Amino acid sequence: METVVGIEDNDDGKFEDSGVDRSSSALSSPKQIANPIVYKLVRVEGDGRLVPATDDEVMEVGDFLEYENSEMHVVANTGQSLECISIERSSSGKLRLECKEGTAEADLGELNAKLQILQKVKEEKQRISCGSPAHSHVNIDSQCSADKFPVIDGKVQSETPCQEIPSIASSLNYTHSNQSGSIDQCSRPSEGVIESGSSASAVYSNLKPDLSMSDGEICLDKLSIRELHELFKVTFGRETTVKDKQWLKRRIAMSLTNSCDVSATTFIIKNNKIVRKFEEESSGNMNAGSLISSGNMTEEEDVNFKDSSAVNACGIEDNQVVSETRPEIGLEDENYQTGQRAAKRIRRPTKRYIEELSENESREHNPRLSISNKPMGLGHVSPTLNVRPARNAFSEVRTYGTRLDSLGGSDVQIPCVSRVRRSRPRKDIASLMKFHPTSMGEAEKLSNKLLEHSSDAGSEFPDKVLKSRMPSKFHQPSSSEPVKEQCPVIGPVELRQELRPKRADPSSHTSDDNNIVTVPTAKGGMRRKHHRAWTLVEVIKLVEGVSRCGAGRWSEIKRLSFASYSYRTSVDLKDKWRNLLKASFALTPAPADEGINLRKHGTAPIPEKILLRVRELAEMNSQVPPNYSSSQLASGGGSVHGDRSGYL
């Protein structure tokens, strides 16, 4: 609840932030982990009836959300972490704003001016929607809860206070699932968040009337594209590059009116509603219509959503819990297994492996050739020569492969690209808003049909359907690894397919497998072959995960922090962590100030902070006595317990 409008995105960028309270928690982007909001799609029939969204639709939204996220990530990544860091000490509230600005590189003054305009708008909206003056002083509350969920049953309402203003909006029904975690979050933010809230409001406070608004009426139509951009920015807290005015207006309008029922042509917002040329909807109706009671949701859906939120919730509470958890672990058994722990597991080389190394390669040339003693010609023939037609029987397919998307813990195969980056907003956003009346039935049928046909190859549908039945975790789409074509190794190139095949066609293997190039192995296994560089965000998540669960509990971490990154397996996490450790200990032990050891040019600079954090965690983990050789942490703190606050 305390989250302030429009600021949410920042969270991503400012992992380093940390101010008072949040900081302790994580370095990860609170947003993802923390965002407890779950969106539910509902269609509002003409008569105001609510029709639960189909799974398909839900997924669409999920994707959409992801899109939002990824876009933000991008920003976060590009943004200067340095700036944020430097600001770190200021109050969290301040920090947020500043960070944001740094990222946006906007002129403060100008921005403020724009903000004010927007603020005006928002205020209006707020005023109208919440009605009760009483709420107004606590701007956050009024804004989020009152504003958004005027109606809705108690359950939802009680939960809602935690939310941020969703950028996506109106057609979505926000359900806040109540897992301990999220609740925790809600109640907790006492300090930092509120603080940030207030500061944010401060910014808004000195507003002046604006052109686009008169008598509580906002006419988006009058705004220039640039203004729309600003408005968008303020409304959603992020920048947009979309040039499409219609789209912008629609988005903004939706947000402002909290309704999905945005006319495609008119964007005059009055009293929190879109005013249509002809029919002016009665406000009462509107409200009833746009708000969907959670009661309408089906069980299945509910499960899914809860599930996902649960994950999120976990992510959030970590910080607080960490201190508790850690000790637990330590005490239980690790503590006195410490000795054992020290000794690394030893594995003796296996004959088989060794043999195969040579055998393998040679086989490429000549399958018959059993063992070539000469390393000479090896390794040249591209694996591609040896291609195998698709097979269904991967008796032991590894579980990586296609990405499981986990909106609501469901697994859906989605082209990875979509998460990576999508330059353009889904064009069919419209379809999101106005579903076809029969959508549900159709979708269902369609999927079923698909199910029958393609039992094996990667069509999206089966999974979608399945998902509704298997609510959560990981069921690995067993059949999902569509065998790759001759895979002329495409290398790390990011296939940038803008579009994600909207309607997967059942037979096409191509649609969705894109990024994951797989290479047939001599043994019939498939080997994944696409190098995905680790993003900063991922790294942060990882570190955060480790801090929460402890190193070694990769699957846990994977479940908690990487639920949405299907391509990162627990093993990947482990490997990455290993690398991070290496990196972190490689850092100059000397007092950090020497900037010398920093980044080599090409290499992605992992913020020193993170590395420090890694190191800290590492030590913590191993419970190494303080006086260990390299143990003296540069920046003060190696204490095992207390001071994680310093970092991140």
Q: Which residues bind DNA (CB under 7 A)?
A: 344-350, 352-353, 356-357, 398, 400, 521, 523, 525, 527-532, 534, 551-556, 567, 570-572, 574-575
Nearer to DNA, 30 or 550 (CB): 550
Smallest distance from the beta carbon of 565 to DNA, in angstroms?
A: 10
Tell how strand 268-270 and strand 213-214 pair up.
Answer: unpaired
Nearer to DNA, 142 or 514 (CB): 514
Please say whether the beta carbons of 539 and 76 come within 8 A. no
User: What are φ and ψ of residue 329, in 5° steps?
Assistant: -55, -50
Nearer to DNA, 14 or 419 (CB): 419
- Quote the tokens at residue 163: 């939310």
C-alpha to C-alpha distance for 426 and 254, rounded to whole angstroms: 16
Q: Which of 437, 461, 433 is nearest to 449 (CA)?
A: 461
Smallest distance from the beta carbon of 515 to DNA, in angstroms?
A: 10
CB atoms within 10 A of CB 493: 11
Smallest distance from the beta carbon of 352 to DNA, in angstroms?
A: 5
Smallest distance from the beta carbon of 402 to DNA, in angstroms?
A: 13
Q: Is the dihedral of CA 31, 36, 41, 46 positive or negative?
A: negative
Nearer to DNA, 360 or 439 (CB): 360
C-alpha to C-alpha distance for 197 and 19, rounded to whole angstroms: 14
Nearer to DNA, 298 or 336 (CB): 336
Nearer to DNA, 295 or 492 (CB): 492
Smallest distance from the beta carbon of 256 to DNA, in angstroms?
A: 41
Please say whether the beta carbons of 140 and 133 come within 8 A. no
- Packing angle, helices 554-561 and 299-329, rounded to 10: 140
Nearer to DNA, 345 or 601 (CB): 345
Smallest distance from the beta carbon of 643 to DNA, in angstroms?
A: 25
DSSP per-residue letters across 520-531? E-TTS-EEE---
Smallest distance from the beta carbon of 473 to DNA, in angstroms?
A: 8
Smallest distance from the beta carbon of 485 to DNA, in angstroms?
A: 16
Nearer to DNA, 365 or 528 (CB): 528
C-alpha to C-alpha distance for 35 and 29, rounded to whole angstroms: 10
DSSP per-residue letters across 536-576? HHHHHHHHHHHHHH-TT-HHHHHHHH-TT-TT--HHHHHHH
Which residues in 85-98 are b (16+ Cβ under 10 Å) and which e? bebbebbbbbbbbb
- List, in order, residues 6 or more apart from 438 with CB less than 8 Å away: none
Nearer to DNA, 26 or 551 (CB): 551
Smallest distance from the beta carbon of 96 to DNA, in angstroms?
A: 32
**SS3 category, 176:** strand
Residues in the chain: 648
Please say whether the beta carbons of 177 and 305 come within 8 A. yes
Smallest distance from the beta carbon of 484 to DNA, in angstroms?
A: 12
Nearer to DNA, 453 or 529 (CB): 529
- Quote the tokens at residue 281: 């909807």
Q: Which of 236, 226, 234 is nearest to 204 (CA)?
A: 234
Nearer to DNA, 352 or 374 (CB): 352
Smallest distance from the beta carbon of 1 to DNA, in angstroms?
A: 34
- 422 class by beta-carbon count within 10 Å (0-12 exposed, 13-18 middle, 19+ buried): buried
C-alpha to C-alpha distance for 417 and 511, rounded to whole angstroms: 11
Nearer to DNA, 276 or 532 (CB): 532
- Quote the tokens at residue 323: 């201190």
Smallest distance from the beta carbon of 85 to DNA, in angstroms?
A: 27
